[in-house]
Chain A
Amino acid sequence: MSEGGSVSAPLGERAYGVHRRLPPILAVFELPRILWEHRELVKAMARRSLKARFRGSVLGLLWPLIHPFCLFWIYLFVFSRIFPGRKEFFAAELMLLGDVSQSLRENYYFAVYLFSGILAWTAFGEAVHRNAQAITGNGNLIKKMAFPSEVMPLAECLATLAIQVFGTTVFLGFMFLGGLWPSPSPGQLLIWPILLALQLLFTYGLSLIVGTLQVFLRDTDHILGVLITFWMFLTPIFWSVHIPELQGYVGYFEWNPMYHLVQAYRNVLIHPGCDWLTWDAWRPVFVFAGIGLVTLWLGVWFFQSKRKRFADEI
């Protein structure tokens, strides 16, 4: 008889049920194996999550393309006509893109700058917020099927990541339209998938935490709604770290994981002269990778230590 009621005989390829060996604190090390065993499920769930968002709409999967397309023009309109001021503070950022002496060009670059940050943020914020419901919203599955529950937050993360990829395609289109592409060397785009992967680690780790918290504290979802908005404005998406008034606080930005991610994305996407042979270019990537891995470890630990109680609490 095996300990703790695990299934003693091998489950075979059709692992209805999940075979776990490691204690929660180390569970992160068997996460790849579990996810690999359930890769079909991960794939199907992510696909379903993505499809479910656009199911029933006429334009369907065109929406993840239409949405960023419209968003870009809105930024361009708003920040050139409605709030045209203070762009000089972004000069350092925009100059990286090219000559900003023309107002139209400056506005266009500004929209590109905003867009580069918002892409990652939207995917991150949406995935974390949605995943607050990853466990509680799938009560039926958790309670009625021997279901590897860690798959659900991952599927959501992957679905939002896919939307980000759609969005980035549109973004690159606008870069091209603005004459900014292929001025960042196409080679540096190879780093982009790495950033996506790191973003996934961090997002997934955080998702596991909020998803678990929500099981025991149903206020998590609401608290998160406020926190994510606040966090977004703490991250240099709509502002630049070069704004003179903020120079005293730059040290604090370092504590914001998303600051590093957004910096890294900008280095890759809109920083044509970025020298990838310098540490400065890689620093945000490595810092964020470190944070991402720690977050994932904490997330898996927390999730696994509470997992057995999910079915009883939802």
Chain B
Amino acid sequence: MNHAIEVRGLSKKYKSYPTPGHRILEALYLGRRAFHREHWALRDVGFDVPKGSALGIIGANGAGKSTLMKILSGTTFQTSGTFACHGRVSSMLELGAGFHAEFSGRENLIMNGIMMGYSRREMLKKFDEIWEFSELGGFIEEPLRTYSSGMAMRLGFSVAVAVDPEILIIDEIFAVGDMHFQKKCIDKIYEFRERGKTILFCSHSLYDIRQLCDQALWVRDGQIARYGEATLVTNEYAAFERSLDVDAQAVIEGDLPAAPRDAREQHPRITDVRVHRPGSEEECYEYSPGDAIDVAVSYENPDPSRYPIHIGIGFLRSDQTLCVANSTQFDGVAVPGESGTAVLHVPRLQLLSGTFVVFCVILDGPGIHRYDNRMAKQDLVVLSRERNLGLFAQDHRWKIEVAREGGSSS
């Protein structure tokens, strides 16, 4: 068996009643009439997690991530579908879920371990190790109600990682304690990875997902939006999240004032914008970093002598960050004639993963006013196939200098 977790057609339906009374009413009707609203938290989710790999689960709030985690850990049950976990599962859905405020850290620590399936004797044996990891010192004997929330979390995490499962399900519990302790937590999870455990990890931190996981699963509205290599999926997810609030037009128009218009005259205008690969006429909007790309702007300028023009082409990320813009004016290229096509040729696209608006403007001679502007028909989608982060690729190389041992050898 190569898969640690196999999930097939998993669906989960929640019922919500307007008031508790409606539940009684529905029971009295013996199912002949429904008084609840249905909500599908998960719909037909299926995937496999190979043994020893780490799968990151991402998605917006309410997308169904936690429901999935809960079903896999066995705290809630699916409406339909099946899953199998091959190996002992331990889940950390919430730290210190079983803590009791009146009891001391020590008592809670041992109780928590018993709740996770250890015997009291085993917990007593492991106690020192867990206590040390928690860095609680003398506080371990104090009742939990005197703890700061960070301390309680630290205790919770320390117990949680003391287990030795084959499959570890972690629901976003990393922001534990101070920076120092957070690092310890992350290191501990890495250690699990190193030891070949299968990890299911849900987080909003795309950074952590990329660092920790081989694969990522993007859940959207209870369904799998994308499942694949972690960097690719997180990049795509990030691009999608950004595109949710885009108003590129407003950005362009806000930046460049329109040229004064005279209704009697014909102004320069853009007739078409095409994005394609060099050598191909077919429009294409999906690229990878390093690809060559041509943006062709067709223009008309009925009176070039009166209206000298320049053409600008910009790449606007969907969160309205202007990533790069080129203009014929900056580059000292003339745009003559009554009509024509200006092609911006980029031999190596350096943008990294994301969704970009390609916009074109016709500017006046000094480059102050805008005659016309137009966006490419579709957004440019750049998908990085490699592990990288950020907005653009930069040329780089590494050089490591190992510091000399300080003459301690004798």
Q: Which residues of A contact B (CB under 8 A)?
A: 1-9, 11-17, 40-41, 43-44, 48, 51-52, 55-56, 140-147, 216-219, 308-309, 311-312
20 pairs from A and B in contact (CB 8 Å cutoff): A1-B8, A4-B82, A5-B82, A7-B84, A8-B85, A9-B85, A9-B87, A16-B88, A16-B90, A16-B116, A40-B120, A41-B114, A141-B97, A143-B93, A144-B93, A144-B97, A145-B75, A146-B75, A147-B98, A308-B77
Q: Residue B303 at the A interface, CB < 8 A?
A: no
- Cα A52 to Cα B99 in complex, Å, equals 12
- Cα A48 to Cα B98 in complex, Å, equals 12
Residues on the A chain within 8 Å of B75, using CB: 142-147, 311
CB of A1 within 8 A of CB of B84, answer yes
- Cα A286 to Cα B107 in complex, Å, equals 41
Provided the pairs A16-B116, A48-B100, A311-B75 are in contact, do residues A217 and B82 lie with their beta carbons within 8 angstroms?
Answer: no
Ordered nearest first, which 7 A-B pairs have the shortest CB separation? A144-B97, A14-B117, A146-B74, A311-B76, A144-B94, A16-B117, A308-B77
Which of the residues A44, A141, A216 comes within 8 Å of B114, measured between beta carbons?
A44
Q: Which residues of B contact A (CB under 8 A)?
A: 6, 8, 10, 14-15, 20, 23-24, 70-71, 73-78, 81-91, 93-94, 97-98, 100, 102-103, 107, 110-111, 114-120, 163, 165
Which of the residues B83, B87, B103, B115 comes within 8 Å of A141, measured between beta carbons?
B115
Residues on the B chain within 8 Å of A15, using CB: 117
CB of B23 within 8 A of CB of A216, answer yes
Q: What 19 additional pairs, Cβ within 8 angstroms, besides A16-B88, A145-B91?
A: A2-B84, A6-B84, A7-B74, A7-B84, A9-B85, A9-B86, A14-B163, A16-B163, A17-B74, A48-B103, A52-B102, A52-B103, A140-B94, A140-B97, A141-B98, A143-B75, A144-B93, A146-B75, A308-B77
Query: How far in angstroms is the closest Cβ of chain A from B144?
Result: 11
- Cα A147 to Cα B91 in complex, Å, equals 11
Interface centre among B88, B94, B100 (most CB of A within 10 A): B88
CB of B83 within 8 A of CB of A5, answer yes
Residues on the B chain within 8 Å of A312, using CB: 14-15, 76
CB of A12 within 8 A of CB of B88, answer yes
- Cα A40 to Cα B10 in complex, Å, equals 33
- Cα A13 to Cα B163 in complex, Å, equals 13
CB of B74 within 8 A of CB of A8, answer no
Query: How far in angstroms is the closest Cβ of chain B from A9?
Result: 5
Provided the pairs A12-B88, A311-B70 are in contact, do residues A145 and B116 lie with their beta carbons within 8 angstroms?
Answer: yes
Count A/B pairs, Cβ under 8 Å: 118
Using CB atoms, name the residue of chain B closest to A51. Answer: B103
Query: How far in angstroms is the closest Cβ of chain A from B121?
Result: 9
Which of the residues A6, A13, A43, A146 comes within 8 Å of B91, measured between beta carbons?
A146
CB of B115 within 8 A of CB of A217, answer no
- Cα A311 to Cα B93 in complex, Å, equals 13
CB of B84 within 8 A of CB of A147, answer no
- Cα A16 to Cα B87 in complex, Å, equals 11
CB of B98 within 8 A of CB of A145, answer yes
Using CB atoms, name the residue of chain B closest to A15. Answer: B117
Which of the residues A8, A41, A55, A217 comes within 8 Å of B20, measured between beta carbons?
A217
Using CB atoms, name the residue of chain A closest to B169. Answer: A146
- Cα A12 to Cα B117 in complex, Å, equals 10
Using CB atoms, name the residue of chain B closest to A4. Answer: B82
Provided the pairs A16-B90, A217-B24 are in contact, do residues A8 and B84 lie with their beta carbons within 8 angstroms?
Answer: yes
- Cα A3 to Cα B78 in complex, Å, equals 12
CB of B24 within 8 A of CB of A5, answer no
Residues on the B chain within 8 Å of A56, using CB: 102
Residues on the A chain within 8 Å of B76, using CB: 143, 308, 311-312
Using CB atoms, name the residue of chain B closest to A309. Answer: B77
CB of B118 within 8 A of CB of A14, answer yes
CB of A218 within 8 A of CB of B82, answer no
Residues on the B chain within 8 Å of A146, using CB: 73-75, 89, 91
- Cα A43 to Cα B75 in complex, Å, equals 22
CB of B98 within 8 A of CB of A55, answer no
CB of A145 within 8 A of CB of B23, answer no
Provided the pairs A7-B74, A144-B97, A311-B76 are in contact, do residues A40 and B88 lie with their beta carbons within 8 angstroms?
Answer: no
Provided the pairs A44-B111, A146-B74 are in contact, do residues A140 and B98 lie with their beta carbons within 8 angstroms?
Answer: yes
- Cα A149 to Cα B75 in complex, Å, equals 10
- Cα A159 to Cα B126 in complex, Å, equals 27
- Cα A41 to Cα B76 in complex, Å, equals 20
CB of B98 within 8 A of CB of A143, answer no
Residues on the B chain within 8 Å of A309, using CB: 77
- Cα A6 to Cα B85 in complex, Å, equals 8
- Cα A285 to Cα B270 in complex, Å, equals 97
Using CB atoms, name the residue of chain B closest to A149. Answer: B75
Query: How far in angstroms is the closest Cβ of chain B from A314?
Result: 11
Query: How far in angstroms is the closest Cβ of chain A from B343?
Result: 55
Residues on the B chain within 8 Å of A218, using CB: 20
Residues on the A chain within 8 Å of B10, using CB: 5
CB of A5 within 8 A of CB of B78, answer yes
Residues on the A chain within 8 Å of B89, using CB: 7, 16-17, 146
CB of B85 within 8 A of CB of A7, answer yes
- Cα A55 to Cα B107 in complex, Å, equals 12
Query: How far in angstroms is the closest Cβ of chain B from A215?
Result: 11
- Cα A15 to Cα B77 in complex, Å, equals 18
Residues on the B chain within 8 Å of A44, using CB: 110-111, 114-115, 120
- Cα A1 to Cα B71 in complex, Å, equals 16
CB of A8 within 8 A of CB of B86, answer yes
- Cα A216 to Cα B27 in complex, Å, equals 11
- Cα A55 to Cα B103 in complex, Å, equals 8
Query: How far in angstroms is the closest Cβ of chain B from A192?
Result: 29
Residues on the B chain within 8 Å of A219, using CB: 20
- Cα A145 to Cα B159 in complex, Å, equals 13
CB of B88 within 8 A of CB of A14, answer yes
CB of B98 within 8 A of CB of A5, answer no
- Cα A312 to Cα B36 in complex, Å, equals 14
CB of B82 within 8 A of CB of A1, answer yes
Which of the residues B78, B93, B118 comes within 8 Å of A145, measured between beta carbons?
B93
Using CB atoms, name the residue of chain B closest to A10. Answer: B88
